[in-house]
């Protein structure tokens, strides 16, 4: 299965859609195979629902961490630019020379 198809299947369908699909499949399997088949389908359904909810929650947590890191990086860049603007030219030249001259 390709990555884009995997992300569509697990990323776009909400958890309740997996539950509805699984319950419908369980009813169909019950008519064909009986209770044992329906219980197997329900077990897979609940596993899929748990995976879907957990994966989406994990993505939300990672996005929040990345947003916080991005904001911190923006603050650091802004502070460094302000420090460079406020530093006198001769002092700035001395600090840069120690990194650029052998």
Domain that holds residue 58: 3-100
DSSP E strands in 1-102: the ranges are none
State yes or no: pLDDT of 1 exceeds 70.
no
Query: For 35-91, how does the pLDDT look when each residue is reduced to its tens digit (9 = 90+)?
Result: 999 999 999 988 888 888 888 888 889 999 999 999 999 999 998 888 778 878 778
Q: How many structural domains comprise the chain?
A: 1
What is the predicted pLDDT for the residue at 3? 73
Task: Give yes or no for residue 13 having a pLDDT over 90.
Answer: no
Whole-structure pTM value: 0.57
Q: How confident is the model at residue 102 (pLDDT cuts 50, 70, 90)?
A: low
Angle at 53 between CA 51 and CA 55, to 5 degrees: 65
The per-residue pLDDT for 2 is 66
């Amino acid at each position: 299965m390709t990555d884009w198809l995997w992300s569509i299947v697990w990323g776009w369908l909400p958890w309740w859609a997996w539950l509805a699909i699984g319950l419908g499949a369980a009813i169909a399997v019950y008519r064909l195979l009986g209770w044992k088949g329906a219980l197997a389908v329900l077990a897979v359904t609940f596993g899929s629902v748990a995976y879907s909810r957990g994966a989406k929650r994990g993505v939300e947590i990672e996005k929040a961490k990345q947003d916080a890191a991005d904001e911190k990086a923006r603050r650091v860049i802004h502070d460094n630019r302000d420090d460079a603007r406020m530093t006198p030219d001769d002092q700035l030249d001395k600090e840069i020379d120690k990194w650029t001259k052998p």
